Every structure is written in structure tokens, then in C-alpha cells.
Chains A and B, each alone.
Chain A
Amino acid sequence: MASIKILLDQCTGCTLCVKTCPFGAIHMHERKAVIDMAKCTLCGSCVAACKFSAIELEKAAGPKRDLSAYKDVWVFCEQKKGAVQSISYELLGEGRKLADKLGVSLCAVLLGSGVEDMAAELGERGADKVYVVDHPALASYQDDPYTELLTRLVQEHKPEVLLCGATTIGRSLVSRVAIKAGAGLTADCTGLDIDAKERLLLQTRPAFGGNIMATIVTPNHRPQMATVRHKVMKEAPVTKGRSAEVIKKSYPEEAFASRTKLVDMVAELSSTVNISEADVIVAGGRGMGSKENFARLEELAKVLGGAVGASRSAVDADWIPYSHQVGQTGKTVCPKLYIACGISGQIQHLIGMQSSKTIVAINKDPDAPIFKVATYGIVGDVNDLVPALTREFKRVLNK
């Protein structure tokens, strides 16, 4: 069983671990760190933070595995209705860098029906190989066959890294593949890198529900799997004429069986502008004052080619459906431009949008927390400023 202890000889009493522990489980006693085992979760944060190697986290030594058979970086390329989703290009862009650092091939995995033609496109986006499984049962995503086939592919071809989008489909799929393949999986990475010596994928993500970042590795299991959200990585550029080796795979019928059955797919107007994918988001909060005022945000969003977002209070007031909500209980977004109108900036909202590239905040309260994260702040009335911005953006964009 795993255990943790303080090496008293090494501990200098610097208190770095006390500050780092996300669970408040460490305190100082006579200038030495003491761990409260009732609170400790063995998360390893303190071990990573200690500059004096004074904390030892011991893990029961499992069988040392031979990982040498695992190579290549894989990207699961999500497609819907015959179109490769843009998240796949973002992952190919990042995957290319990782594959080059490891000195291996970048491979795309494409599951679907009538998708073989898309393989060429993936080659132009940097894939060296494309594994294709083409079957009518894969026309639309279903958990069972997609899980079964991706697991089989992984077990057969042994990639060392597997990336997937943190989308509805991606999160449902790879969570199960990781269990079946006995792999490590890290969700929503905001940074990926390679430790070339150990051939480890360094996966950085926000942790412990706050503004702490953790770097996570998978030392003894393969593949090292990670999901990444939309807009976090840069799309791979298109190199015309670049081509990938296409490897068509076939499997026995039972691999395509599904216990669940897709009866219908319904597109809803209110959520067609997917805020997770938008480059520009115009978001409104309680400060908009009324449903009528809130509706003015649409016009500004339209001029900017963006989507409308909302704080929780605007959704609770029924000014806009929940699918537009940004923040902890809504969506996390990372657009190029986020314009927050009449949003005060509670921490639950900030968690969902603070990694946006440029943030503009408009609020009448100069002390609103939103100004602390805003690139540009305007203290004023949203009902004057939103129409003014709509006009001015029309002017500069010649619309």
C-alpha cells in the first residue's frame, strides 16, 4: 500500500509544502512538516513542491513493464456527418510537435462510414499514417463500437501517446478506452510536452478546482492518453500535396455491435452556435437589466461573427438557454476575444473564461472583479456601450 512520510533530516521547515497542499493536510510542528493523514489524499503535490526532497511518497512497486513496444503519437480524429471536426486539426498540430520530439510517426485514427476520402485531408494536416475503420455501424457515434474498435486498435498497434478532443464524444469514448486498455488518462490538458529521456508525456492541467496547475505523467502504463479542449492548441497548417499512408483495418462483425441504439439526432437552433468553438464571444450578465437589453448582444455578436455567452444569473433569469452559460456549471471557453457585458466576475464565471486571449469588460461598478482579468475595461452603462460598439465594429469591419 502506498504511503507518505516526511524525512525529518531533510526538512528545513520552509513551509512550501504547507502552502502547496490543496487539502490543508500539512502543518508545521517544531519547524518540521507534519502530515495529517486524515486529510492527505496522497496527491503528490507536496512531493513535487519540496525543494529539499524531504517528502517521500512510496508506491508499492508493481511489476516493471516493458514499454519498448509502444511507439508513435496517435490522434483520434472526430468526424460528424462526413466532416472532420476542427478539434482534430488542433490535435494534429500539437501531435506533430510531440511526435517530432519523440522521433516517431504521427498517426490519425478515423472511425466512420464512408470516411476513407477524409484520410487525404489528415495527411495534409501532418499525419504520417491514417488508420481507417470504415463501416456502416460507425456512421454516427455510439459508445460501444467506438470503444471496442479504438481499444482493439490501441492493443494491436501500441501507440505511446493518444490524444483526443475533450468534446462530448471524446470524453465519453476515451474514458472507457483507458479502462479497457489499462492506460493513464488526463483530462482537459492546457499544455503538453515531452520528457525525451524518459519518453514521458508531460500533461499540464488546472487541478483541485482552482487556479493551481499540475503536471501529470503516466510512468508505467501505455498509451499515455490525454484530452484537450477546443481552441487550446493551434490548428495544424495545410500542406498541399503532403500525403499519409492509409491503413484500412477490418474487424469481425461482433466488434461493431452496439447495445445502445441511436434513434434520432436533433439539431437545435439555440445551440447551433457552439460557444466552445467560437473565436469571439459576447457574453452578458445580470447587469444587462432585462431580456430585451440582453437581446442586443446578438447584434454585436453577429457583427463580430461570434456567439452569445451568458453568466449563470442571466440564464437563471431566463434571458437565454443554459447551453450558452459560461463558467463552472456551464462551459469553459477560450476564444480569441471575450466581451463581458454587465458581468461582475464571480470566481465561478472567471474559471470558465479567464484563459481567453483578449478580455473586454464593461461594467458600471469600477470595483467589479471582472476588471482584474480584463485586457481592456470600460466603466459605464452597457446599454449605451453595446449599441455604440456594434456601430463602431461595423465601421472598422466595413460592414
Chain B
Amino acid sequence: MNIIVCIKQVPNTTDVRIDPVTNTLIRDGVESVINPFDAYAIEEAVRLKERLGGKVTVLTMGPPQAENALRQAIGLGCDEGVLVSDRKFAGADTWATSYTLACAIEKFGEFNVILCGKQASDGDTAQVGPGISAHLDIPQVTYVRKIEEIDEKRAKVERMTEEGYDVVETPLPCLFTVVKEINTPRMPSLKGMMRAKSAKIAKWTAADIDAEPALLGLDGSPTRVVKVFTPEPRKGGELLSGTAEEVAGELADLLKEAVI
């Protein structure tokens, strides 16, 4: 079973503080981590390999320092890492990003499964996973919470919906985006961390993945940022005081309109 996991390096939001004066993010000293949703994709890939044999390749597009994220993933059990990095990718929106990753995946040749986190915690778009499957023209199942059955040719999975879940059968190769419910990621092992340190990370540029230059980075992105602003911070309102009964009564009267 050949498994590809696509990950993204994101700022660690537990470190993010908001400047009380300017109301902007303070990024100094913010560490970069693997997108929390990708941790579930990595864990599921490693579990599939442990059950069925094969190889897990972890892939990311990003600046040179994204190599650290790949090493962490290797520490968690992935076999090989590929960093797709080039100034030509700068400014990519989800269209250009999924195109770039799809080009890299085509270079791998044979694969059975692509796993992605359901979305990245910094952009929250959930567009890149489905975008990759569209560029590669392979089936997809999004929001997967369980892989019930899988072999080299097909899989049966549960897709989380607003009301519950769907059971979906798909031929492989297929792309799955996974949700938190799918597993509990392991901690890196000592052996894994040793391997992560010494593992060789393949580095590919735009030329290496045979991509169409006009479709990369900002040039290949249909969307463009024209304005950025910091919204007015939400102001704290009134503090109510009194006994539980008094406060509850006051609040119920205040909110009567809102809840009818």
C-alpha cells in the first residue's frame, strides 16, 4: 500500500497572543507546527502501513523551514519526506497550491491513498484536499471519521455529516480528508526521533515537478487580496451582580426578546 500524506506547517495558535493596543497578532516567538488536523492524517497513514505494509510518504509545499514539519512526521512513523519549495510558489491561493501538490504527486507514480487533514488551522478553507483530487481526477471522500475496510483496490469509509455519518465505498486510488474523530495520534518514539534527525528529505523545485509556470504561485492564483484590516475588537459589556436568583431573573428579562 503506497500512502501519501499532505501536510502544512502553520503558526502554533496556542502561542498566538493579540496585541492589546493595535489588536493585531503578535507573531514574535510563535513556533511553527504541523497543522493540528494533519496529525490525524499522519497517524491514520502510519496505522494503515502497520496493518497492510507498504510505505508512507509525507509531502508539503512551503518555505525551506517547512522541512522541520516533514522531520516531525517522520518521527511519527512516516517513511519518506518530500519538500516542494520554490520562490515561484509564493502567493499561491488554494487553486495554485492544489495544482502544485498534484504535480508533485504525479511525479511519485503509483499510489493507493492520499490523506489530508480536513483543513488547515491558519486558512480554514478545506479547499486544498478536494482541489488535489480534482487536479488528479481521482475520487475523494471528505470528513472521513473511520476507515472501515481497505485493501489495495477499494475502501469503505465513514464520512461525517451534519446529521451523523454516511458509509461510502470507493475504488482506490482515492483522496481522503480526515477529522479528529478518526484516531488518537501517538507521541513520537525515541527511535522515530532518531530517524527523523538523520532522514534525507527530498527537495523539489518547480522545474522538478514539471509544472506549468503560469499556473504557479501568485501568477496561477485566481484570487487576490485587495484589503486587510483589523476589525474592531469586541468590547466586554455589562457585569451583572446580585444573588443567583436576582441575576438570572434580570438576564432572562434582558434576553427575552432574543430567545422568542
Contact = CB atoms under 8 A, between A and B. Distances in A.
Query: Is the pairing of A and B real?
Result: yes
Given A184-B93, A212-B25, A274 B162 contact: yes
B133 A176 contact: yes
Given A38-B63, A188-B125, A211 B133 contact: no
Interface string B154-196: 0010011111111111110010000011000000000000000
B163 to A, nearest CB: 5
6 tightest A-B contacts by CB? A42-B91, A184-B222, A209-B122, A175-B130, A388-B248, A2-B218
B131 interface: yes
A383 to B, nearest CB: 9
Contacts of B126: 171, 175, 187
Interface in A368-398: 371-381, 384-385, 388-389, 391-393, 395-397
Contacts of B130: 143, 171-172, 175-176, 179
Interface of B: 10-11, 13-14, 16-18, 22-25, 27-28, 36-37, 63-64, 87-88, 90-91, 93-95, 98-99, 121-131, 133-135, 139-143, 156, 159-171, 174, 180-181, 213-214, 217-219, 221-231, 233-234, 236-241, 244-245, 247-249, 251-256, 258-260
Given A185-B94, A378-B239, A347 B223 contact: no
Given A218-B222, A220-B222, A260 B141 contact: yes
A273 to B, nearest CB: 10
Nearest to A43: B225
Given A266-B164, A378-B251, A175 B94 contact: yes
Interface stretch (A18-26, A115-123, A124-132, A232-240): A18-26
Contacts of A45: 225, 228
A60 B219 contact: yes
B168 A329 contact: no
A215 B225 contact: yes
Given A45-B228, A274-B162, A376-B239, 13 more contacts: A44-B225, A172-B130, A175-B130, A188-B125, A213-B229, A260-B170, A262-B166, A264-B167, A357-B258, A373-B234, A374-B236, A376-B238, A392-B249
B29 to A, nearest CB: 10
A48 interface: yes
Given A188-B124, A188-B125, A221 B236 contact: no
A294 interface: no
A246 interface: no
A172 B24 CA distance: 32
A86 to B, nearest CB: 11
Nearest to B177: A172
Nearest to B219: A60
Given A214-B225, A347-B18, A385-B247, A185 B25 contact: no
Interface string A274-305: 10110010000000000000000000000011
Chain A residues touching B, range? 35 or more
Among B36, B91, B159, B231, the most chain A Cβ lie within 10 Å of the Cβ of B91
A305 B259 contact: yes
Contacts of B122: 208-209
Given A1-B213, A271-B162, A179 B236 contact: no
Contacts of B131: 175-176, 178-179
A218 B239 contact: no
Nearest to B90: A42
A201 to B, nearest CB: 10
A39 interface: yes
A185 B224 CA distance: 10
B231 A48 contact: no
Given A2-B218, A176-B130, A184-B93, A271 B252 contact: no
B163 A272 contact: yes
Contacts of B234: 354, 372-373
